[in-house]
Amino acid sequence: MEQCMICGSTEVERDTVTHHATEFGVRSVYLLNTPVTRCRECGDEAITIPHYGRVARQIRDRLCALNRVLEGNEFALLRRELGLTATELARRINVHAVTISRWEHGHVSLSQSADRLLRTWTLAALGYKWMDMDRLLGSLPEGGIDHVEIDLATGPDGEFWMETHYRFGGTQSAWKMVRGRK
């Protein structure tokens, strides 16, 4: 019998929702069919993101297909996922570190060349072949998407990491990582 992590009640229900996944640091990501557990006693609600690593990878992939110049927070996510500091990226693309900060905080619009370069590096890190990168990036903006939607109901089988968000009333929350099998 499943119990609420907060109050211990067995009066819990499972559902699926469309989750606006702002915890990734971007506003353009929505996770469809996100499992949620709600406690009827205390009102706690916990979402579960199955295949977390694969979902995060798919988010990076889909951000590269957006039909517009990346927003600063999207640019920052891709930079961090490449393992680059703002200073390292600035040096590699020959701009001042302050410029990177201004782009990432939305004070100045991102240049199209920096946008395209970061998308190319991200796709290369994800294992894309040059011909496929050229085809994807060459189809933008007409062939792109305007936001990221990932359907968790059609996720891959096998071993996964699951990240579950627990809310402790008010604004207190925590994340729990669990390893499992589908």
160 neighbors 49 (Cβ within 8 angstroms): no
pLDDT of residue 155: 62
Q: Report all structural domains of the chain as residue ranges with CATH numbers, in order of start.
A: 1-52+150-175 (no CATH), 66-144 (1.10.260.40)
pLDDT of residue 24: 87
Q: Which residues have a Cβ under 8 Å from the Cβ of 121 and sit 6 or more positions away? A: 82
Q: What is the pLDDT along the chain (182 residues), one digit of tens a residue?
A: 788 888 889 999 999 999 999 988 999 999 999 999 999 999 888 888 888 888 899 999 999 999 999 999 999 999 999 999 999 999 999 999 999 999 999 999 999 999 999 999 999 999 999 999 988 888 888 878 899 999 998 864 333 333 344 444 444 444 444 433 33
Structure tokens at 84: 């680059």
Of 74, 151, 143, the C-alpha closest to 114 is 74
pLDDT of residue 6: 87
Structure tokens at 54: 């694969």
24 neighbors 175 (Cβ within 8 angstroms): no
